[in-house]
Structure formats: C-alpha cells, structure tokens
C-alpha cells in the first residue's frame, strides 16, 4: 500500500482560472495534491485544476461558504490540510524543512501561519494548517470559521496550536473590480449578522463594502453598530479593534478631525494600546492641531518597529504606515519643530520608499537647505 499523503490543499473556486493557476503552481512543491471544489465555474477553472492533478468535485452555490469548504475537507486524503483560496499564493521559498517538520510532528493539532491580506500590507497570523480530522469543519455563511473546531480537537487529543512563520500566504483578492463580490457578500453578511450579532468582523466587512461603493454614511453606521456592540459587553475579542481602526481611519481620511473623532481615537487607543494604525491616526490628529512633539514621538515609535513587532500586534496594516507615510509625517513634524536635519533625514527615507513621489524629494531638499543655512560657518 502506498504511503498516505502528508499534506493536501483544500480550495473552493468559481471562475478563477488565472488565479488558480498561480495558486496551484506556488503550492506544487509543498503539497502532495489538491482538492478543488467548484461552485459553478463557466471559465477554464476546472481544466486548470485537472491539469494540476487535483481531485475535483462540484457543489452548486447555495449562498454560504461553509458547505463547499466542508465538502473539500471531506475529500482530503492526507495527514495535514492546508486551507487556501484560489486568489492566494504561497510565497515561502524552501518547503523541504516544513514538510520534514510536519512529517515528524506529534504535538500539534494545527498552526497559525503568516497571511498577507493585501498587496503591500504586513502579515498577521491565520489558522490555515491543521491535522485532517472529521471533527474539524467550518461554520458560518460568510467569514466561515474553523478556529473553534481546531482548538476543540487540540483539547480532546492533548495537542497544541502554535505559530508557524515558515509558511506565508499572499492574498491578491482585493485588486481589480470588486463590485461582483460586494453584491454577493452583502446579503450574506446581513444574514450572518442576524445569526451572530456579536461577531464584530461582520460589521467591519459590511462597512468596507459600503465604503468601496462610496456610501460613507452607511459605512460609518455599520462601523458604529459594531462599536456599540463592543461598548455594551464586558468581554473583549481580538476582532473588536477592526471596527475602531477602520472607522477612525475612514473619518480622518475624509477630513473629519473634530473633537468626536479625537475622542473616538483616544477610546480606541485605551482599548487597544500600541496598535500602529491607531497610533498613526492619533499622530495625524496631533499634527493637525499643532502638537508636533507628541505626534513626532508616536511616529518615531512606529517607524522603529520590526516586522516581528508588527505581527505581534495581531493585525495587518498598510505597510506605508511604517514606510513612506510614517517617515513623511515625521519629517513634517520635525520640520515644524525646527529640526531641519532630522526632517531632511525623514523625508529622504520617505523618498527611498516611494521614489516616484516627487513631493518627498522637494521636502527633503527644502529641509536640507534650511539645515545648511542654519549651520554655523
């Protein structure tokens, strides 16, 4: 009898031929095979899956994600399951050590791996790799979750769930026109909120749909529904930060820097201290109100963070906070404080991060000229 496969990827698809080609190619050296459940493709998606040797099944779309995902898990015939979407790719390079680790592991039910949700953003950790167990199945119409099932299996078997930073997945799904996804997701989100009104992530996703559609009022209303839920209960949840982060960032980005936004930002920081995007938002408000020293102190902390420090916060952020945006705003703070040499250095770092933005070069040159003019002869 042939040895049981070590690891297989479980994927659900619909009209994602080009994305699936990239996805499966990136996984070829890690996985022993693929299970692809199609929910109604009319393009070459199925042909791509078959060309890569995938086990293919067909489940008609029924308005929820858990059903096809669980069908894909039913068909996995390996010791380990890697849960992947067609618009993701594995960016980790050397897969042999990871396979060796999994082949000899006896202490884990699953792992959280590095996941990059948007191009140019920082990673956070998601539950994507676990032992193949019939009890580990998804639940939920949308943003279906496996987390409780993985931890329950770990508890039953006396195993652990740990971080595995040797594996990184890059998500590409937010590039391009998202209108079809928004139309599909909105009714599912509304239905899932009725079922699970305490799941804050749902309010955040719904708000981001309205934001993308240009409906700021509905977006803010959805975020505020999440905020009010959080304020009304005593037990915090890691997802709580999402509605605060996105609401604060949205309002500041739209020029709303009044006292109520400042108060909301301070409330968010009190609940979630040291979250870089909230710190950046607070620095933006402080700069706008002329408190350049306080803003500079926040920004200096942000740009000094290592990637491991950022991942440890538990969220993903636009990388420009730690690069061009952070250094540019810090440069403006230093310039306003009369630290011309420090401003020139900060603008130079922003310029290095985004050389096509000529405003950084202009600011660097101005700050450098002022520094030279102010230097003793």
pLDDT digits (tens, 9 = 90+) for 125-140: 999 999 999 999 999 9
Where residue 6 falls among pLDDT bands split at 50, 70, 90? Answer: very high
For 291-331, write each residue's pLDDT tens digit: 999 999 999 999 999 999 999 999 999 999 999 999 999 99
Confidence of residue 371 (pLDDT cuts 50, 70, 90): very high
This prediction has a pTM of 0.92
Q: Return the percentage of the chain with pLDDT > 90, whole number.
A: 91
* DSSP annotation of 318: B
**pLDDT tens digits, 41-59:** 999 999 999 999 999 999 9
Task: Read off the pLDDT band of 377 (50, 70, 90).
Answer: very low
Least confident of 20-29, 89-98, 258-267: 89-98
Which of the four pLDDT bands, split at 50, 70 and 90, describes residue 179? confident
Mean of the per-residue pLDDT values of the chain: 95
Angle between helices 200-212 and 240-253 (to 10 degrees): 20
* CB 89 within 8 Å of CB 26: yes
The DSSP letter of residue 2 is P
Instruction: Answer yes or no: is pLDDT of 375 > 80.
Output: no
What Rg value do the Cα atoms of the chain yield, rounded? 23
**What's the confidence (pLDDT) of residue 1?**
39
Q: How far from chain centre, in Å, is Cα 211?
A: 17
Q: Which domains does the chain have, with CATH numbers?
A: 7-171 (3.90.550.10), 179-374 (1.25.40.10)
131/109 Cα distance (integer angstroms): 6
User: Is pLDDT larger for residue 92 or for residue 67?
Assistant: 67
């Amino acid at each position: 009898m042939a040895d049981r496969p070590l690891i297989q990827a479980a994927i659900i698809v619909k009209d994602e031929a080009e994305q699936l080609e990239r996805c499966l190619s990136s996984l070829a050296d890690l996985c022993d095979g693929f299970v692809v459940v199609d929910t109604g493709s009319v393009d070459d998606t199925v042909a791509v899956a078959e060309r890569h040797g995938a086990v293919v099944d067909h489940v008609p779309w029924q308005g929820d994600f858990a059903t096809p995902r669980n069908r894909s898990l039913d068909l996995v015939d390996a010791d380990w399951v890697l849960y992947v979407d067609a618009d993701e790719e594995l960016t980790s390079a050397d897969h042999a050590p990871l396979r060796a680790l999994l082949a000899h592991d006896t202490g884990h039910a699953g792992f959280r791996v590095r996941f990059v949700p948007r191009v140019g953003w920082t990673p956070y950790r998601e539950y994507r790799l676990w032992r193949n167990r019939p009890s580990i199945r998804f639940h939920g119409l949308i943003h279906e979750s496996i987390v409780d099932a993985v931890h329950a299996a770990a508890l039953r078997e006396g195993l652990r769930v740990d971080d595995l930073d040797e594996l990184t997945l890059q998500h590409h799904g937010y590039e391009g026109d998202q209108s079809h996804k928004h139309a599909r997701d909105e009714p599912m989100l509304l239905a899932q909120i009725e079922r699970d009104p305490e799941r804050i992530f749902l309010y955040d996703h719904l708000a981001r749909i309205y934001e993308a559609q240009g409906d700021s009022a509905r977006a803010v209303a959805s975020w505020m529904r999440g905020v009010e839920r959080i304020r009304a209960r005593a037990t915090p949840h890691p997802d709580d930060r999402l509605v605060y982060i996105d609401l604060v960032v949205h309002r500041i980005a739209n020029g709303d820097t009044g006292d109520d936004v400042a108060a909301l930002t301070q409330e968010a920081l009190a609940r979630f201290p040291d979250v870089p995007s909230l710190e950046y938002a607070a620095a933006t408000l402080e700069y706008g109100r002329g408190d350049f020293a306080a803003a500079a102190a926040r920004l200096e902390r942000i740009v000094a963070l290592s990637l491991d420090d950022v991942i440890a916060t538990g969220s993903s952020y636009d990388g420009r906070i730690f690069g061009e945006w952070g250094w540019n705003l810090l440069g403006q703070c230093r310039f306003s404080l009369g630290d011309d040499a420090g401003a020139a250095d900060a603008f130079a770092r922003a310029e290095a991060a985004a050389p096509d933005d000529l405003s950084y070069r202009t600011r660097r040159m101005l700050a450098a000229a002022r520094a030279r003019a102010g230097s003793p002869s």
